[in-house]
């Protein structure tokens, strides 16, 4: 494809994306494709001759769109927001067009220095202290793995070869368990700590677990505090956990993958009081904020330790600038790195901090409105505090309890999703199946939240 041909097809593709975004409210939210249905539309062998781009565009509609669940839909209430702001979409196009490989300063100086500035912009935006510095990772899962590897290496200098243990809430994300395995601690050395009625880690239970392990000759290496759990968006008491971690010389990692974006709002920051004591922290601008997947912000207080753990120094990577610059290949696991900072640069400049804050406040207000409707309805039950933008609820008609109640609420969610007008997901918390309404799509307004509430009520009545 020549640059002139690219200009023609590029304009056509931008028009296609713009049309797709404009038509989203008319589309069913969750794909109703059956397993293997999309694969059956694809030829089993690659083409031996070139095909016209027009055929590719036609197949986007015929093959791809039927198999897409529309995460940017205004009535997408499943999992978590995964906003892909159109400004960030354009930034990804630029990054691909530049074809930059951003592993070292020398391989693309603009990529390194823009990332440095974007990480500092984000730091300021969420109110972190100046001594927090960081790099962009692909996901919070990778960032948590990096954190626990760093924790392992620091603990190894202190533990005198004793088995090392890691602690987290029983509501912690599954990525913590995976990171414990991959970092070599072993699943037998992960302690999932009991939570309270609001699904937050109980500090004295953490202290007791640590004491028990010390008595067995183990070395407490790290604790992961979650700010915004997946099930209910619960917040672990960071300040209390930080004190316990300091007392035992443990690494404190904060997983704020979803809720970290809320810290753009000063009124939310008391919820992570004590964050300044963390050794590492991650949050995902590619979720609620809108930076387009993948774009995960990972911060540390001791970057020298991070680089010491992650760096390698093969001769073919050495440059004359190495002592004067950051080489972000040494700040994480991959050698190759994408130009992710462009997405943040485009997003923040196109919208400005105040507009981003206004959108987050809109979503918080919509979540509080929905919580009020649930609380005022006798047959509905709110299952957790609404701290951010997720409302955890269940329908509880008279006479249904236990497993029958769980089955009823799963059936309710299934009926909503199969209808296509909205999409939400469930989780099991404390033995109860809950319906999660995760508000936060860039285009979701109060009328969309009112619509999912009306739909839930209608489907609940139909089940009885």
Mean pLDDT of 189-208: 96
Whether 213 shows a pLDDT value over 80: the answer reads yes
Q: What percent of the chain has pLDDT over 90?
A: 96
Nearest to 386 by CA among 234, 256, 199: 234
pLDDT of residue 158: 77
Q: For residue range 93-146, list pLDDT tens digits in order.
A: 999 999 999 999 999 999 999 999 999 999 999 999 999 999 999 999 999 999
User: Most distant CA pair in the chain: distance in Å?
Assistant: 74
- For residues 271 and 234, what is the distance between their CA atoms, to the nearest angstrom? 10
Q: Which two structure tokens, joined as six digits, stand for 181?
A: 């395995």
Reported confidence tier of residue 221, pLDDT bands at 50, 70, 90: very high
Q: For residue range 415-435, list pLDDT tens digits in order.
A: 999 999 999 999 999 899 999
Q: Which residue has the tokens 């810290």?
A: 263
Reported confidence tier of residue 320, pLDDT bands at 50, 70, 90: confident
Task: Report how far Cα 159 is from the mean position of its chain's Cα atoms.
Answer: 33
Non-local (6+) Cβ contacts of 52 within 8 A are none
DSSP letter assigned to residue 167: E
Q: Which two structure tokens, joined as six digits, stand for 270?
A: 């008391």
Q: Where are the domains of the chain?
A: 100-338
Q: In what order do the strands lie in the sheet with 380-382?
A: 76-77, 423-429, 432-438, 390-395, 380-382
- For residues 323 and 213, what is the distance between their CA atoms, to the nearest angstrom? 42
Reported confidence tier of residue 337, pLDDT bands at 50, 70, 90: very high
Reported confidence tier of residue 243, pLDDT bands at 50, 70, 90: very high
- For residues 243 and 194, what is the distance between their CA atoms, to the nearest angstrom? 18
Give, in degrees to the nearest 5, the angle at Cα 116 between 114 and 117. Answer: 65
pTM of the full structure: 0.95
Mean pLDDT of 45-70: 96
Nearest to 225 by CA among 270, 274, 186: 274
Q: For residues 281 and 275, is the Cβ–Cβ distance under 8 A?
A: yes
- For residues 110 and 210, what is the distance between their CA atoms, to the nearest angstrom? 45
Report in angstroms the alpha-carbon separations of 343 from 116, 138, 263, 334, 349. Answer: 13, 13, 19, 19, 10
Q: Domain 100-338 is of which CATH architecture? A: 3-Layer(aba) Sandwich (3.40)
Inter-residue long-range contacts of 263-271, CB under 8 Å, 24+ positions, other chains counted: 263/125, 263/126, 263/127, 264/125, 264/126, 264/289, 264/353, 264/356, 264/357, 264/360, 265/357, 265/360, 265/361, 265/364, 266/127, 268/388, 269/126, 269/127, 271/227, 271/235, 271/387
Please give the helix or strand (H or E) that residue 406 lies within, else none.
Answer: helix 402-419
Q: Which two structure tokens, joined as six digits, stand for 113?
A: 């220095």
Per-chain mean pLDDT for the chain: 96
Whether 160 shows a pLDDT value over 80: the answer reads no
Q: What percent of the chain has pLDDT over 70?
A: 100
Whether 464 shows a pLDDT value over 90: the answer reads no
């Amino acid at each position: 494809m020549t640059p002139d041909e690219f200009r023609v097809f590029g304009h056509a593709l931008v028009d296609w994306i713009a049309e797709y975004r404009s038509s989203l409210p008319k589309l069913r939210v969750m794909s109703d494709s059956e397993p293997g249905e999309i694969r059956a539309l694809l030829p089993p062998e690659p083409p031996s001759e070139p095909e016209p781009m027009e055929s590719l565009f036609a197949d986007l509609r015929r093959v791809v769109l039927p198999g897409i669940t529309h995460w940017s839909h205004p009535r997408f209430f499943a999992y978590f927001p995964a906003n892909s702001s159109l400004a960030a979409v354009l930034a990804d196009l630029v990054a691909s067009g530049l074809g930059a490989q951003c592993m070292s300063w020398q391989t693309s100086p603009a990529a390194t220095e823009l990332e440095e500035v974007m990480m500092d912009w984000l730091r300021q935006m969420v109110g972190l202290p100046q001594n927090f510095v960081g790099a962009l990772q692909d996901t919070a899962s990778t960032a948590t793995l990096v954190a626990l590897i760093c924790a392992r290496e620091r603990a190894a200098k202190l533990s005198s070869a004793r088995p090392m243990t890691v602690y987290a809430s029983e509501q912690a994300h599954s990525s913590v368990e995976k990171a414990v395995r991959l970092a070599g601690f072993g699943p037998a050395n992960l302690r999932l700590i009991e939570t309270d009625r609001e699904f937050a880690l109980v500090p004295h239970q953490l202290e007791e677990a640590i004491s028990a392990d010390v008595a067995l000759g183990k070395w407490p290496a790290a604790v992961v505090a979650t700010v915004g759990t997946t099930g209910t968006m619960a917040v672990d008491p960071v300040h209390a956990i930080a004190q316990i971690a300091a007392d035992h010389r443990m690494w404190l990692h904060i997983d704020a993958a979803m809720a970290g974006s809320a810290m753009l709002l000063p009124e939310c920051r008391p919820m992570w009081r004590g964050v300044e004591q963390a050794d590492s922290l991650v949050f995902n601008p590619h979720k609620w904020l809108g930076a387009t997947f993948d774009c995960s912000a990972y911060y540390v207080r001791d970057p020298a330790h991070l680089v010491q753990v992650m760096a390698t120094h093969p001769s073919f990577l050495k440059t004359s600038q190495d002592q004067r610059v950051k080489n972000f290949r040494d700040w994480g696991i991959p050698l190759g790195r994408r130009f992710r900072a462009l997405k943040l640069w485009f997003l923040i400049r196109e919208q400005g901090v105040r507009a981003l804050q206004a959108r987050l406040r809109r979503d918080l207000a919509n979540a509080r409105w929905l919580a009020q409707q649930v609380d005022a309805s006798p047959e509905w039950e709110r299952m957790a505090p609404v701290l951010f933008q997720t409302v955890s609820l269940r329908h509880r008609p008279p006479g249904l309890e236990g497993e029958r109640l769980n089955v009823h609420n799963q059936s309710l969610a299934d009926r909503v999703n199969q209808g296509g007008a909205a999409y939400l997901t469930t989780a099991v918390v404390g033995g109860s199946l809950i319906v999660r309404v995760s508000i936060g799509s860039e285009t979701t307004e109060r009328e969309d939240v009112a619509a999912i509430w009306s739909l839930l009520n209608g489907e609940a009545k139909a089940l009885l």
